[in-house]
A and B are shown apart, each in its own frame.
Chain A
Amino acid sequence: MSERLEKGIQALRDKMDARIASYFSSCVHCGLCAEACLFATESQDPIYTPIYKLEPMRKVWSREYSFWGKLGAMIGVTDNVTEEDFANWETLVYDSCTMCGRCSMVCPVGIDITYMIRKEREAFVAAGYTPEGLQAATERAINIGSPMGVTLKTLQATIRSVEKETGLTIPMDVAGADYMALFSSMEIVNFEEYIAGLARIFKAAGVSWTVSSKGFEATNSGIQIGDPEAAKTIVERVVSAAEELGVKSVISPECGHAFMAIRWEGPNLIGRQYPFKVIHILELLSELHENGSLQLEGMTDTPLTYHDPCQISRRGGVIQQPRDLLNSVASNFQEMSDGGDMNWCCGGGGGVSANERADEIRLQAFNIKKKQLAELDGVETIVTACANCRLMLEDGLEHYELSHEVTGLTELIAEHIKQ
């Protein structure tokens, strides 16, 4: 057995906790998870069945934790995980799973397949079977501070541009501010209108906020690839920046995986609770609107719909707030079928967007979004709250030659600030 295979198997063994053992013990292979997965439904290929993507991990569980598996191992008839398994499953684990969690919502015995995929990816990292695109993004996140290679200079250039456009000052490194805003690299590079919207909203609502020059990037490709050390380093960067400035709260950007990383996984990665609160921008906007700090005016009658970023809604619990916000500025907001906690993923989460190898299956899976959009009545505008979803939606729409416009919810809210 090669060293890398041994490391991979050991990592799978190390991940085995009561949750995973109960999940494998409960699975009756009913196949319902396949009906919830955009890759399985749109390709109609059974190999994309979510639980099947966990076959390497199941093999280790079976061999070491089940009666028949152990008996079979003793007499040499139970298969062990092989290098071929790692090689064959790499594409299933990384290219055709966005860790969107939809399968976890429909399993009759309650198996959280997403949790297990996340753990299985750690074994793939240990064994050295990871997609190049995601590897490179993680290396850039560690060495440069951003998976897209965005540096402080890039941020400063964007901030200058936003300041020029809005006439507002973006507060940098202000100690004692109430809130420290984080961004995703895509927001800094592709969607600076998010930063402009934030500046306008916070000015109008009288929010004390700042941006840290030491920790401004919130995405975490360490989590996406399954490298806990890299994930921890990325979270620690933000935590130490917030601690240094002594802020009361950290604002997660619209990006779904960033929210997951900093809000739900971060404390577990660094092994302690934060001395500050983490709040998603949509939660904050909703709070500000509810307590009257953020006054809005005007209603757009443009028919629009909302694409729930999976990590914000289904895996993050921010479901009602975007709807309340949308209903306060839009008179013709239409829900997509399965909207809310059962939304269909854009196809690019979980690092899939950073993995060029996955483009073909990702775009095939986007067909589900096309079907959802076709059911709506005259909707040509999709609002979302994740820069990655936004980019993936734009890519998918272009691929299917659809003319919908995609916009961010924070920007939309900023357009309706009461003057």
Chain B
Amino acid sequence: MFTDFIDGPFWTFSVSVFAIGVIWRLISIIRLGVPGDLAVPREDGGAGGMRTILSRFMARPAVRKRALLIVVAGYMFHVGLFALLFFAQPHIDFYVDRFGVPAWAGMPRWLFILTAEIAFAGLIMAWLYRVMHPVTRMLSGIGEHTASWLVFFVMLTGCLALLEQYDSLRVLHFFLAELLLIYFPFSSLMHTFTFAFSRNYTGATMGRRGVDA
């Protein structure tokens, strides 16, 4: 009964909240508008925006050497999570089943396990940094901690579900993922989408000035 609910109506509900919520958040940002820039540009703002969207995937050396731990943890978590979400075979099978998309090649199981461990370690390192470093400890609020813990439990139950011994672990993983989907649009997890906007705005402004931001 509970499994059917989680696999059925609750999935539909959570994915709808996610989709509608994300679109609503993005529209609510865009509709605020940005004042035009009347200063004669040196370079094209569009190119600057695109450049910054891409270049900020790499941490600048100036900050990399000062905050190595959080930079490394950030890469471990984000790259690992991306690989897990889109190249873990159980996830690919899920997308094919739920969305009817054609299948694509997944990671071998050993790489999947390794990636999960890297992502997990990255998340734990980032969270420890958040609670131990005086700056992040001061900045972090309930939103950051809720997001961290939700992601942590989704990943933990995902790892446990890998054992494939109990369907209840898969259902628990799925249920937590659905909670995460519901929470997502109303949290700082929105940076998954809005980072492109913020990088673009900054990159375009600075690009017009001839600065590679």
Contacts and interface: CB of A to CB of B under 8 A. Distances in A.
A292 B39 CA distance: 29
Given A21-B29, A46-B138, A110-B52, A268 B38 contact: yes
A32 interface: yes
Contacts of A19: 34, 198, 201-202
A167 interface: no
A16 interface: yes
A265 B35 CA distance: 12
A388 to B, nearest CB: 20
Contacts of A272: 38
B74 interface: yes
A26 B137 CA distance: 18
Given A36-B62, A342-B60, A17 B135 contact: no
B195 A110 contact: yes
Interface in A7-59: 16-23, 25-32, 34-36, 40-41, 46-47, 49, 51-52
Interface string B133-163: 1111111110110000000000000000000
A31 B135 contact: yes
Contact of A109 (B70, B135, B195): B195
A128 interface: no
A30 B70 contact: yes
Interface string B73-95: 01000000000000000000000
B15 interface: no
Contact of B211 (A47, A106, A109, A341): A341
A254 B68 CA distance: 36
Contacts of A63: none
Interface stretch (A138-146, A310-318, A410-418): A310-318
A277 interface: yes
Interface in B99-156: 130, 133-141, 143-144
B60 A105 contact: yes
B144 A28 contact: yes
Nearest to A45: B134
A191 interface: no
Interface in B189-213: 190-191, 194-195, 197-203, 205-206, 209-213
Contacts, number: 170
B29 A67 contact: no
Contacts of B98: none
B106 to A, nearest CB: 28
B59 interface: yes
B56 A112 contact: no
Interface in B33-53: 33-40, 42, 52-53
B138 A22 contact: no
B30 interface: yes
Given A30-B136, A110-B203, A338-B62, A17 B35 contact: yes
Contacts of B31: 18
B198 A26 contact: yes
Contact of A68 (B29, B140, B186): B186
A35 B197 CA distance: 23
Contacts of B213: 104-105, 110
Contacts of A68: 143, 186
A76 interface: no
Given A35-B63, A111-B198, A17 B34 contact: yes
B205 A49 contact: no
Given A104-B213, A273-B40, A25 B139 contact: no
A257 interface: no
> Which of A32, A265, A273 is the most central at the interface, judged by chain B CB atoms within 10 Å of its CB?
A32
12 contacts: A16-B32, A18-B29, A25-B194, A26-B191, A28-B144, A104-B213, A106-B63, A110-B195, A110-B201, A111-B198, A266-B39, A317-B42
Interface of A: 16-23, 25-32, 34-36, 40-41, 46-47, 49, 51-52, 65-68, 104-112, 115, 263-268, 271-273, 277, 314-317, 319, 338, 341-342
